[in-house]
A and B are shown apart, each in its own frame.
Chain A
Amino acid sequence: MAMQLRVTDGAITNRVLANLQGNLTRVGNLQEQLSSGKQISRPSDSPTGTVSAMQLRGESRAVQQYTRNASDGLGWLGVIDTALTSSLSQTGKVRELVLQGMSAGTASTPDAREAIAAEVENLRKSLIGVANTKYLDRPVFGGTTTGERAFDGNGSFVGDTGTVMRTVGDNSKVQVDANGAAVFGANGTDSQLFTVLESIAANLRGSNTAGLDADLQNLDVAIGTIKTNLADVGARYNRIETSRTAADDRLLNVKSKLSEIEDIDLPNTIMQMQLQQTAYQAALQATAKVIQPSLMDFLR
């Protein structure tokens, strides 16, 4: 305060009012903080805090999206894993049937060979069904095809070579599909699974032992390809799961940082509130004492 020669009633009143107002404003601010639970409610409360808060919110949103992308990717890979496991067991069954057909040799009757051939054909159909497995209405082996199927009824690959990717972290994209042409063999190649199976059925019916030999080699190549892909799918599944765990951890981290910046320290704020209330009450009491008496009270 500037030095004053005189003190007037007006000056005292103004000062008292200003002090009480200041006290009440601080109480009001603390009350706002307590009721909202936030120490930053507008940019001017802390410009740097606000920017950090905004960045952290953006980061939190992005990380949550990574988690969603990862879940979706795990969905794809899980379906593919099941399909490939089922394919392996069915191709294994075919392999047994081929061996059975070969070992029986010429001794077996045409009826018996026909029965085996029919079973192989059934397994082929079932495998085509497996190869057309869908996840969320998309054939998981069809690449980025807009079509309904990855393989047509004849076992020809009708998908495309596009890859389905999921972003599971900053600059971290993982392929979540397995291309039908890569898994089951490209159209026109000898080891294309469905071509092999067709050939097996025909050679069984025709008792073509030499043909069955070649078929068996091709079938082993096809089975090997499926196994490799299954391992690859498993590896990618793990990679996405790791990313998701990392994203969850990061989200927790981001949220605690955000809370650190934005949220009030409750015990501290409550204590400040107590102090401020005490100060306000003291100011009120002091005012009551100062304002009251004047010379008039002592003159008759």
Chain B
Amino acid sequence: MKTEFEPTILAFVCNWCTYTAADLAGTSRMVQQPNVRLVRMMCTGMVDPKYVIKALLSGADGVLISGCHPGDCHYMNGNYKARRRVRLLKEILPLFGIEEGRVKLTWVGASEGNEFAATVNNFINEIREIGPMEARSMAIV
């Protein structure tokens, strides 16, 4: 069963670091599994937990949030805010029957194309291990 499961991943990435890294990964032709789809945000600080939950309830098996390294935020400290928020979000996810591993926050700087490709591929594999989102079928939206 697990071998047939192809996870769907949504990635909220900041325009200044990770989206640029994704561009670089593309320009450098660093092949990634096709399961991830990017949502360009200006900053991880604008990623409302609602977006993450919405994505999980609407069909995503995992959500990646990725922005600038600590101290490098284009908006001074948006990534620190994201870090706190994801921490809190992970506390409540299990209450809904959602494994906290389905949400991941990483830092990928603008010049780290290889890091981006590796992050995406690793996360897809992690979600493949966790399996399909069971909680979604039980949720009443």
Partners in one complex: no
Residues in chain A within 8 A of chain B (CB atoms):
none
